Amino acid sequence: MIEGLRAFWRGLLGRCPHCGHGRIFRTFYGMVEGCAQCGRRYEGTGDQSTGAMGISLTLTLVFGFIGGVLVVVYLGDQLPLGMTILLVTLSVFQAVMYRFSRGLWIGLLCVTGAMYEDEHRDEFYL
Element (H, E) at 11: helix 2-12
User: With 0-12 CB in 10 A as exposed, 13-18 as middle and 19+ as buried, what is 53?
Assistant: middle
Beta bridge partners, 15, equal 23
Where in the sequence is the domain holding 84, given as residue range(s)? 2-42+50-119
pLDDT digits (tens, 9 = 90+) for 38-54: 878 876 556 567 888 88
In a domain, 17, yes or no: yes
pLDDT band at 126 (very low <50, low <70, confident <90, very high): very low
In a domain, 80, yes or no: yes
Contact (Cβ atoms closer than 8 angstroms) between residue 13 and residue 92: no
pLDDT digits (tens, 9 = 90+) for 26-35: 888 888 888 8
Would you state the pLDDT for residue 70?
92
pLDDT digits (tens, 9 = 90+) for 80-119: 999 999 999 999 999 888 889 988 888 888 888 777 766 6
Judged by average pLDDT, the poorest of 4-8, 19-23, 34-38 is: 34-38
In a domain, 59, yes or no: yes
The domain total for the chain is: 1
